[in-house]
């Protein structure tokens, strides 16, 4: 994961050319990025016809990005406020399951966020407006969606108990060989998926595993 504190300069550099209609300001340790997010089909070259569309947005983030998840609001009301459109009443967009992106993305800079999940979210919204379909699929609402996302990251069955057990093992600095393997075979880890698990352990830090556990817990209502 990209570490070091996010600065207003990094944000400005990220939007300077790619998003000239966004404007970044600082308020204490908060950063607010506001204006029109232009949706282009390619991140590199330009289309003769210009951008596909633009969404009015406000991003609120802080210098603890990317540990801290940025909040994204759609401000014009263009997207109907409904969980089925992945947006809350106040325009708060559920862009993606943050921990999933942090874990699978090699680049978690602010620029990568703008060109990755944020672009995919608004491209998906645009596609839904036109066709009523989600081009990249969608997560279930609430806890169920979290479990799905985490199960995808772990490459395991989409079952809550299973995901929790897996995350508990990964949240330890040194997973023990005499624990039961999370694959459900009933065998000891050392005789089962030890190599796979250790490979995952090196990609997904104990800290991240704890964070994911906590997230699951806070989602239980």
Partner 1 sequence: MTIHKNKNAKTHDDVLEEIAGAIDIPPSQYEEAVSRYETLGNWLDRDQSTIAQYDPQIAPQGSFLLGTVTRPLGDDEEYDVDLICLLKVAKKDFTPKGLKETIGHEVKLYAKANNMSKRPEEGRRCWTLHYADDAQFHMDVLPCLPDAQAHQLLLERRGHAALAHDQSLSGQAIAITDWTLPQYEQLTEDWPLSNPIGYAAWFRGRMVAQLTEGKKRFAKSQMITASVDDIPDYKVKTPLQRAIQLLKRHRDSTFGDNEHKPISIIITTLSAKAYNEEPTISEALQTILSTMDQFIEYHGEEAWVLNPVNPEENFADKWAEESKKRENFFKWLEQARHDFALYLRTSPFNEMPEVLKEGLGRRTVDRTLDTILAAGAAMITAPAIAKATANDAELERAEAAITNIRESGSQSKPWAK
* Residues of the shown chain interacting with partner 1 in the complex, contacts defined by CB under 8 A: 13, 16-21, 36, 38, 40-42, 44-52, 54, 83-84, 86, 88, 92-97, 100-101, 104-105, 116-117, 120-121, 123-124, 126-127, 130-131, 134-139, 141-142, 145-146, 149, 219
Using CA atoms, how far residue 118 sits from 52, 61, 180, in Å, is 15, 14, 39
For partner 1, which is the closer residue by CB, 80 or 137? 137
Question: Which tokens in the block code for residue 205?
Answer: 């830090």
For partner 1, which is the closer residue by CB, 34 or 188? 34
For partner 1, which is the closer residue by CB, 31 or 121? 121
Tell the smallest beta-carbon distance from residue 42 to partner 1 (Å).
7
For partner 1, which is the closer residue by CB, 97 or 208? 97
User: What is the DSSP secondary structure assignment for residue 155, as one 8-state letter?
Assistant: T
Cα radius of gyration rounded to whole Å, the chain: 19
Q: Are 162 and 156 in contact (CB under 8 A)?
A: yes
Tell the smallest beta-carbon distance from residue 122 to partner 1 (Å).
10
- Return the number of other C-beta atoms located less than 10 Å from residue 118's C-beta: 23
């Amino acid at each position: 994961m990209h570490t070091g504190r996010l600065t207003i300069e990094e944000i400005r550099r990220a939007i300077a050319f790619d998003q000239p209609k966004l404007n970044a300001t600082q308020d204490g340790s908060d950063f607010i990025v506001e204006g029109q997010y232009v949706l282009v089909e390619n991140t590199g070259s330009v289309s003769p016809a210009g951008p596909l569309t633009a969404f009015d947005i406000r991003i609120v983030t802080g210098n603890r990005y990317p540990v801290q998840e940025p909040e994204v609001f759609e401000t014009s009301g263009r997207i109907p406020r409904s969980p089925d459109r992945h947006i809350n009443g106040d325009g708060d967009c559920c862009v993606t399951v943050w921990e999933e992106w942090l874990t699978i993305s090699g680049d978690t800079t602010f620029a990568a966020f703008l060109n990755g999940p944020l672009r995919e979210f608004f491209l998906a919204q645009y596609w839904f407006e036109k066709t009523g379909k989600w081009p990249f699929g969608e997560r279930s609402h609430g806890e169920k969606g979290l479990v799905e996302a985490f199960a995808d990251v772990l490459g395991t069955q989409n079952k809550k108990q299973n995901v929790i057990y897996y995350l508990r093992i990964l949240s330890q600095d040194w997973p023990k060989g005499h624990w039961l393997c999370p694959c459900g075979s009933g065998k000891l880890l050392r005789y089962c998926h030890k190599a796979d698990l250790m490979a995952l352990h090196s990609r997904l830090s104990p800290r991240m595993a704890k964070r994911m556990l906590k997230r699951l817990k806070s989602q239980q209502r």
